Structure formats: structure tokens, C-alpha cells
Amino acid sequence: MKNRITDLEIRITHQESSIDELTRTILVQDKVIKQLKQDMEIIQNQMKELSSELSNIAHVSEETPPPHY
């Protein structure tokens, strides 16, 4: 009986250690995900700005040829 209790205590200790490690991993991943979301938002805003700037540029077919033509 005492052996079983000791074995269970050892298993619980290993499980607690595993849970702590998983928790640390999740926290690190959460930080990475938050940073990636911020980066993505910045990129999306930059793309919107570029898109609006490019919409003001005439299409190649609408451009007048340069004077040497």
C-alpha cells in the first residue's frame, strides 16, 4: 500500500512539472501570437495606404507617351 502511494505521489509530481512547463509554453506562444497580430495589423494598414496611393496613379494605357516618341 505504501508503495502505491509513493508511486502516485511521484506521478503527481511529474504531472505538475509537465503542467507547469506547458503553461510556460502557452504563455510564450500567447506573446508571440499577440505580436504577430500587431504586426499583421500594421501591414494591413500599410497595404491600405499603398492601395489608396496607387489608385491615384493612371493606368499605363491612360498615360501619355513621353516626348521622344
Is the pTM above the cut of 0.85?
A: no
CA–CA distance, 44 with 31 (Å, rounded to integer):
20
pLDDT tens profile 35-68: 999 999 999 999 998 887 777 766 767 777 778 7
CA–CA distance, 7 with 14 (Å, rounded to integer):
11
Where in the chain are the domains?
1-42
